[in-house]
């Protein structure tokens, strides 16, 4: 899925992932929107309040009123779930390493990539740098 636009349609309990293919060697496959089938087991239990992405790493992050922050890969496989006692107001990747800032309950928390990312992702990222 290199050089393709990804679309994420978020709704608690029913998030869908699509990608737009602009060009293809098969004319029938060019300029089409494709649905990527994904599991629903790891969905948020309440309204999603914020989303951010880091395309270089193929990751995105969601925050919810249920107090969870979830980090996903581009196939919507959950990499990590971080639980807070309050609803999440904002999430953002703050640098190319994918450190995260999270706004919740009038506070801001920082989570370092090395503390939440799977080890194989950290190794791959450090080899690319």
The whole-angstrom separation of Cα 26 and Cα 104 is 47
CB 85 within 8 A of CB 68: no
Residue 51's pLDDT is 87
Which residue ranges form the domains of the chain, and what is each CATH number? 5-128 (2.130.10.10)
Q: Does residue 2 surpass a pLDDT of 50?
A: no
In a 13 Å sphere around the CA of 113, the CA atoms on its Cβ side amount to 20
pLDDT in tens, 8-42: 555 555 555 555 666 666 766 666 666 555 555 56
Helix (H) or strand (E) holding 71: strand 68-73
Is the model's pTM score more than 0.75? no
pLDDT category at 109 given cuts 50, 70, 90 is very high
Q: Do 81 and 70 touch, CB atoms closer than 8 A?
A: yes
- What pLDDT score was predicted for residue 125? 45
């Amino acid at each position: 899925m290199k050089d393709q636009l990804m679309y994420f349609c978020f709704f608690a309990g029913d998030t869908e992932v699509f990608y737009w293919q602009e060009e293809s060697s098969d004319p029938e496959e060019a300029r089409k929107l494709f649905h990527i089938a994904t599991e629903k087991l790891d969905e948020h239990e309440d309204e999603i309040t914020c989303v951010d992405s880091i395309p270089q790493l193929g990751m995105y992050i969601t925050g919810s009123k249920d107090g969870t922050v979830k980090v996903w890969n581009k196939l919507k496989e959950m990499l990590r779930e971080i639980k807070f006692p309050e609803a999440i107001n904002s999430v953002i990747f703050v640098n190319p390493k994918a450190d995260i800032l999270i706004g919740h309950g009038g506070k801001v928390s920082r989570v370092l990539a090395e503390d939440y990312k799977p080890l194989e992702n950290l190794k791959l990222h450090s080899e690319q740098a």
